Structure 1
């Protein structure tokens, strides 16, 4: 309670008054420093006559607070991310933090796209894509004033998780005669997308799991040959051709020991993709 009974004055640690109380003949003045938040709250003024039968008058309550214009404090996001090379399909959140009394309303806009408006401090892309590339601005407003939009943040999707598709048939069927033919050759081929370029390896499934196929390099006789396509700059290419390369596994002189299930595996720092091939034999 602020009262005239003790004529007290509360001070800051550096000696400046937090509030002052002045009693005039027909009115009272209470001055509260605007930066002293501990005195914010609801106030009423009560007047009591010093008579044998005192009467008291009480004013309507007034809430005192200090209104301040908004101020942008921080743009918050996962600092492990590169805003210029976000991963396609990932969950991306970007938070605009501002202060002000009353609490400011925050709005996000996108440069060159008048239809884009996101209300609230969090700019959220649950599955960001190339279409979301652009420069985004944060603005804070609370009716007292407004914080000019920040300098803008440019975000770009430039990394893509590996994807694969079949070029050759996923199921190949050979006959008994094929398996004894000296010239029978088999080819598995896949098309791989991804940025950065995925590493592609070939595996054969067995009872113990998988065994990696190593390029033999033998020019005659039974052998495996692995071909990897030429890599181009995946960061500047068309979205439909991003990091596209072709990879193949070739057998010379395919035989019965080669029947079974094969796996093409593409992996990078953004993820892993796999495709399976089956080789089987049927009677002539």
Structure 2
């Protein structure tokens, strides 16, 4: 299920309505919309990577801590006086290494992804606190200038996020790898009968998600002059919620990158509404959690409906 047949049209209309309401009753204008997209560029990138993981029937809880470590590494490299491209490549390398470890342990160690990535999340968070005992680390002016640049009037971070999302969407839709992800997420045993090796697919999506988070951390770090050691807390909840709200089944095998992008935009607009209407920030996580539970509930109902239809047709 890769087309716009599920939740995407509804989310598109809902986002449009939210934009209209915000524009009508708050100071939300084109400049605010552009800033919102800038602020969520790393989230768009991370959510695309998480989409592939969930499509394949897995989960990654280490993304928030991985984002923090990658951003800290990017800041440190940018301040070290090394060539500027290394400040972008180093956090990507960190993300790939984290994805590699997660992928190997999950796919070939046969340990559930929740346990592996939960352990990785805790390990990386402790490492970040150890590396940044002062609580923050600064980025270089040159590094920040790249992140804040606006080629053709659009920020660098949005160009990167858009190119990444488009490339992944095309790969998932038109390549054998994409078809294998959907097949394994739908039914790994049936996929194995067809000659697909589920553990290779799980390894690949976790590795790729590491790359995505590394890229997201580079984009995030390049937009700020200071990186705090508590960044990324709750990032995993944000990504998973956006992916599931966007129509990707938490059980795998169903969803799209386009739906995920709409899910991120929806959560971004909801957060903007909470801020404009002066609703306390502590409600933000509660709202996200409620949306996640609602989306999972819809998935459960849909899965039971399909199961009932299948049994009825086979009878």
Return the index of the structure with the highest Cα Rg.
1
Normalised-by-shorter TM-score class: under 0.3
From the two aligned structures, give the one with the greater helix fraction: 2
User: Relative contact order, CA 8 A, sep 6+: which one is greater?
Assistant: 2
